[in-house]
Structure 1
Amino acid sequence: MRTGTKTALLLFVFALYYLIPIEFRALWQPDETRYAEISREMLANGNWVTPHFFGLRYFEKPIAGYWVNNLGQLLFGHNNFGVRAGSIFSTILSALLVYWMGIRLFANRTVALNACIIFLTSLLVYGVGTYAVLDPILTLWMVAAMASYCLAAQASTSGQRVLGYVLLGVACAMGFMTKGFLALAVPVLAIVPWAVAQRRFGELLRFGPLTILVAALVSAPWSLAIYRQEGDFWHYFFWVEHIQRFAEDDAQHKAPFWYYLPILLAGSLPWLGLLPGSLVQGWRQRGQQPGLSYLLSWTLLPLLFFSIAKGKLPTYILPCFAPLALLMAHYTQSMTPHVVKALKVNAWINMFFGGVAAVALAVVLAPWGLAHRPPFGVTEHYKLMLGILAFGGWTLFGALSKKNWQLAACCPLILALVIGFAIPDRIRDSKQPQNFVAAVSGQLADSRYILANDPGIASAVAWELQRNDIRFYERKGEVGYGLDYPDAQDRYISANDFPAWLAQHRKQGKVSVAMIMSSADANPDTRLPKPDFVYRQGRLVYFGYDAQP
């Protein structure tokens, strides 16, 4: 495939994967609705120093990720695309840096373009890169950090070397202000061993203080500003969000050491067939090309670190897919018999995956399927057909990639275009509350008080209605720390206190309660007084209490 054709394919991939379908996908709770609402409140109150969630102090993450998300809503408005714009354009900028590194490391535009295509269409990169969380933004700063050190390591003048170390400090500072000290793990773990192996550790010691100084100067204004506004921020953020989350026995999201192996394999689709060969080739040729050893260090050492950590989430290894894309692209360039075989295997893997997924939908997950509780209802045949079509397209493009391996980039294309319309109602009614909120928006808009039993559904209500005065019924969830402050005591009502609270407050206006139940068959809370209006949509339930002067 010619370079011009590959560039056109890259633009085609960008538009069809990252732009066109995004507005048609409802926001997922709790992550997307949370970040949508935090940024909306930041734009509304003008405080770009301290994050607030429902007007409560929210110290789980630093500020820079919210700044990026703020710009998305500021530029594109109060809509689904505006919420996701920060993640999308961070991913695109990461891809451009991957391209730059492909040119820098291999002096080959074809490798650079192939790496971009592989990166943007890898399942984990695409899935997270079109989802409103902070990980794509963090990935951008981590890729920028590694690209900056690459610039410093290959510098031919002192000025270029200084510039590389300065940019490394800026990228580390922005990563730190996006997700905390975790952001420093990837560049430190990848760069230091490589510098030692390449006998560049002395240079790192000489210029490293410059990087640290720049990082401190960039992050200091906000760090000091939030300390002045909220002196408790650093205590909570360091001990709870870092020590407890990753190292202690009660760490959040605990998982076994091998947790990231299936994530790596599934996340590499539709390029999984290239993964073993690219790693083996990179290892064998690491002595001949320092760039390959750099990419291996960037891939394997952070992966090992996150595997050792007790707290794990799939998104933590997202930065590893940038060097993997470069390794895969370099691997395909030689077109040796081993590479040609790997490309054929990759095509068969995609055909097998798409075929098995389509059959699973038709035989197991369909209303007539073998699953005990099929996700698709008896009236959702069209959604089921869209799902089968999507994975049938994956199989088709897998077959076509036997002749032209780059066409594997199109394997997830139909899935990307139709997924927003193919989500079963059972999943939509528990994870995508926008439809539910729209159905009762009139009742909610007329309410003097709104309560919710979960921050996920509460953030969907707050974002859709553009109001942050939601109160919490029975459960505090992730906003418990903010609710414990003395000035927020009235924002939480226990189940036992609710009847008396309701009797008093409905004198001032209508009261609404939005709840998410443990399952679609669960009975609503019987401790609630009898409502004047009830609406249920799957696991989501609305109770309306009219004003009683």
Structure 2
Amino acid sequence: MKPWNSSRALGFGVALYFVLLYLLPLNGRLLWQPDETRYAEISREMLQRGDWVVPHLLGLRYFEKPVAGYWFNNISQWLFGDTNFAVRFGAAFSSGITALLVFALAMMMWRQRRTAWLAALIFLSMTLVFGIGTYNVLDPMIALWLTAAMASFYLAWRSERPGKKLAAYVLLGLACAMGVMTKGFLALAVPVIAVLPIAIRQRRFRELLIYGPAAVIAAVLLCLPWALVIARREPDFWHYFFWVEHIKRFAEANAQHRAPFWYYLPVIMAGSLPWLALLPGSLRKGWIERRARPELFFLLSWVVMPLLFFSIAKGKLPTYILSCMAPLALLMAAYAVDCAAAFRHGVFRLNAAINIVFGALCIAVVVVMGFGLLSPHSLYNRQEWPKIIIGVIAFAGWVLFAALSGRRGGQRFAWAAACPLLLALLVGYVIPQNTVNNKQPQHFIRANADLLNHDGYLLSNNVGVATTLAWELKRSDIEIYRDKGELSYGLAYPDAQGHFVSEADFPDWLSQARRHGNVALLLRLDDDQSYIRNLPDADAVRRQNWLALYFYRQRP
């Protein structure tokens, strides 16, 4: 494949690439708990209840996120059924639309289709983007709305006619509103932080004062109907969502997922693969040419300012900086095109070398860890040697395409995008069984369907396992045993008291429950398993790694 074929061929290639990397693998692996099963079950229950306003999990109020992200999953499950493909399609679809926005932004900036398609290809092939974009979380959706907001601001920035500028600000407000209804008020903070240096440099404060209210009004009008309805139905929603999910999570000393300030530096480096060699030069180019090419400063501010914001926050996760990858892909595309035009192919040869080394190291890790060559504890058991072979093939593909991208002195650099293809297609067949048992309870639940598929009582001590159980059996009446976890808030409501069974109350509760039906207790075991000895004798016990099933038959 030559990097500079016709734009139509490039567009077809990017579309085919999206299908191969994002759509085909979706149904090829089980759901991971707790994230994927949580969001799958919330949407399933929304469809089952016919309630698209108040999110519920296991029949309990669940106020950690607003509602628009669930709408994506609702529509996906409505179209494709209760499948793993449907669960992940909303994230993949959001990533695909974001790639189209990257293409549109590149066209607005440079009027070159080949550069625009290259930017979309770089974006889709970044490990952080496709890793999260094929995983059922809400971050690809919030990244979509933040990209749409920044694209709208750029359109307003470039528009000369007042009417067109006003329309762009209205689009900005609508995109921010959808972001707020997807994941909260960060959808307002991130665009403001990103555009602040741009407004200062371009002296656009007067424009912001004139047209900014239109964006605010549009955002309020779009959010207001749902905000009022949920406030009327659940008066405590906004208090909990603002103070607990925003202030505590990001600012307090005991925030969730605490990490040091530099946390995102290795994340963004690893997330930029297979384009890591382009990262320093593209950022440097955005700064050096900020005066001659204002669009590069726009992109640089869009990358750096949110990155600093999330680095300062106490709570950190890799998914938080997904919104930085679209502008980074645009910067990389601009840098790559300029390097190719000036015959500076050294960066492409370096990129190929980095990918070859990375793929080779991953092959070595799979072989060494898989066969336990340096440790008595291997990733795989003896019967899983085919998975090691598949893992080697997946990363051998990374090495092969990396080598191809370095041919002819780096002129075929676009082939680097193909590095993750085999890995994405084969990863579902490489996961060790120990990991499957630990993080993908669907396997254990399906293997023990004879004891779980009944009309009696089901309990679990782990919310992630409980949501997997609910998703697999298509029932939300899973009781929580011993550990409330993230359901503590929902369980505190008076009408939810019967959904929790403490360790001390379990024997008495069990004797009463067995009069009305079978009881199955599915446990995720931890290091301290002393509580297992206090359980009443079960009629059947099945255990696999960190999962254990205790089955009690009905005794009228």
TM-score scaled by structure 1?
Answer: 0.98
| 1:466 corresponds to | 474
* SS, match of residue 375 in structure 2: coil
Counterpart of 2:293, as a letter, is Q
Q: Distance in 2 between matches of 1:79 and 1:304?
A: 38
Amino acid at match of 2:11: T
Deviations 1:134-168 (A, max 9, x none): 00000000000001111111113211101100000
1:500 lines up with 2:508 in the alignment: yes
Amino acid in the other structure paired with 1:505: A
- Rounded to whole Å, the distance in 1 between the matches of 2:186 and 2:241 is 12
Q: Contact conserved, 1:447 with 1:512, CA < 8 A, in 2?
A: no
Deviation readout 1:15-50 (Å, 9 max, x if unpaired): 111111211111000000000000000000011111
Q: Secondary structure at the match of 1:366?
A: helix
Normalised by the length of structure 2, the TM-score is: 0.97
Please name the residue that 2:16 is paired with.
Answer: 12
Work out the CA distance in 2 between the residues paired with 1:317 and 1:89: 19
Among 406, 420, 439, the alignment partner of 1:412 is 420
Residue 455 (str. 1) matches residue 463 (str. 2): yes
Structure 1 counterpart SS, 2:66: coil
Cα distance, 1:368 vs structure 2: 3.0
Determine if contact 2:23/2:89 at 8 Å carries over to the other structure. Answer: no
Which residue does 1:527 correspond to in 2? Answer: 534
Matched, 1:49 2:53: yes
Q: Is the 8 A contact 1:32 1:132 kept in 2?
A: yes
| Pair 1:32-2:36 in alignment | yes
Q: Which residue of 307, 311, 316 corresponds with 1:312?
A: 316
**In 2, are the aligned partners of 1:447 and 1:511 still within 8 Å (CA)?**
no
Q: Tell me how far 1:524 sits from its aligned partner.
A: 7.2
Contact 2:26–2:89 at 8 Å: present in 1 too?
no
Counterpart code for 1:531:
A
1:206 alignment partner, one of 193, 207, 210: 210
Give 1:382's aligned amino acid.
Answer: P
User: What letter is aligned with 2:153?
Assistant: Y
Residue 357 of structure 2 is matched in structure 1 by 352
CA distance in 2, matches of 1:408, 1:535: 47
Task: Give the counterpart of 2:440 among 432, 435, 442.
Answer: 432
Q: 1:114 corresponds to which residue?
A: 118
Query: Which one-letter code corresponds to 2:551 in the other structure?
Result: G
Going from structure 1 to structure 2, the CA distance change for 1:339 and 1:434 (only over 3 Å counts) comes to farther
Query: What are structure 1's unaligned runs of at least 5 residues?
Result: none
Distance 1:400 1:201 in 2: 49
What SS does the corresponding residue of 1:126 show, helix, strand or coil? Answer: helix
Whether 1:378 and 2:393 are equivalent positions in the alignment is no
Distance in 1 (alpha carbons) for counterparts of 2:28 and 2:370 = 23
Which piece of structure 1 moves more, 472-481 or 196-205? 196-205
Structure 2, unaligned runs of 5 or more: none
In structure 2, relative to structure 1, the CA distance for the partners of 1:486 and 1:312 (3 Å cut) is same
Q: Could you tell me whether the CA contact under 8 Å between 2:275 and 2:351 is conserved in 1?
A: yes
2:245 matched to which residue of 1?
A: 241
- How far apart, CA to CA, are the structure 2 residues paired with 1:309 and 1:101? 29
Query: Tell me, what secondary structure is at the counterpart of 1:78?
Result: coil
Tell me the SS of whatever aligns to 2:532: coil
Amino acid at match of 1:436: F
Cα distance in structure 1, aligned partners of 2:451 and 2:163: 63
| Farther off after superposition, 337-346 or 533-542 | 337-346
Does the aligned pair in 2 maintain the 1:447–1:509 contact within 8 Å? Answer: yes
Amino acid paired to 2:485: G
Assess if the C-alpha contact under 8 Å between 2:399 and 2:419 holds in 1.
yes
Select 2:164's aligned residue among 153, 160, 164: 160
Runs of 4+ in 1 over 3 A off after TM superposition: 336-339, 521-524
Distance apart, 1:539 and its partner CA: 1.0
The one-letter amino acid of 2:162's match is S
User: Residue 545 of structure 1 corresponds to which residue in structure 2?
Assistant: 552
Matched residue, 2:449: 441
Structure 2 counterpart of 1:411, one-letter code: C
Residue 170 of structure 2 contacts residue 214 of structure 2 at CA under 8 Å; is this kept in 1? Answer: yes
Per-residue deviation, 1:468: 0.3
- 1:9 & 1:307 partners in 2: Cα distance? 36
Amino acid across the alignment from 1:181: F
**Letter of the structure 1 residue corresponding to residue 438 of structure 2:** S
- Answering whether residue 98 of structure 2 is matched by residue 94 of structure 1, we say yes
- Is the Cα–Cα contact under 8 Å of residues 372 and 379 in structure 2 kept in the other structure? no
What's the CA shift for 1:192?
A: 2.1
Moved more, 218-227 or 531-540: 531-540
Matched, 1:21 2:28: no
Matched residue type, 2:284? V
SS at structure 2 position matched to 1:370:
coil
Structure 1 residue 336, shift from structure 2 partner: 5.7
Do 1:48 and 1:67's aligned partners in 2 also have CA atoms closer than 8 Å? yes
- The 10-residue stretch of structure 1 (257-266 or 205-214) with the greater mean CA deviation from structure 2: 205-214
Q: Are residue 276 (structure 1) and residue 280 (structure 2) matched?
A: yes
Residue equivalent to 1:149 = 153
Q: Give, in angstroms, the shift of residue 9 of structure 1.
A: 2.2
Rate the CA distance shift 1:338–1:537 in 2: closer, same or farther, 3 A.
Answer: farther
Farther off after superposition, 155-164 or 259-268:
155-164
Report the AA paired with residue 546 of structure 1: R
Structure 1: distance between partners of 2:220 and 2:384: 55
Query: Residues 302-360 of structure 1: CA distance to partner in whole angstroms, max 9, x if unpaired?
Result: 00000000010100000000000000001111226684111111000000000011011
The alignment yields a C-alpha RMSD, in angstroms, of 1.3
Q: What secondary structure sits across from 2:21 in the alignment?
A: helix
Question: SS where residue 525 of structure 1 aligns?
Answer: helix
Checking the alignment, whether the CA contact within 8 Å between 2:128 and 2:272 is kept in structure 1 is yes
Residue 499 (structure 2) pairs with residue 491 (structure 1): yes
What residue number does 1:103 align with? Answer: 107
The C-alpha deviation readout for 1:464-489, integer Å capped at 9, x for no partner, is 11100000110001011101111111
User: CA offset at residue 430 of structure 1?
Assistant: 0.6
Q: CA–CA distance in 1 between the matches of 2:361 and 2:246?
A: 40
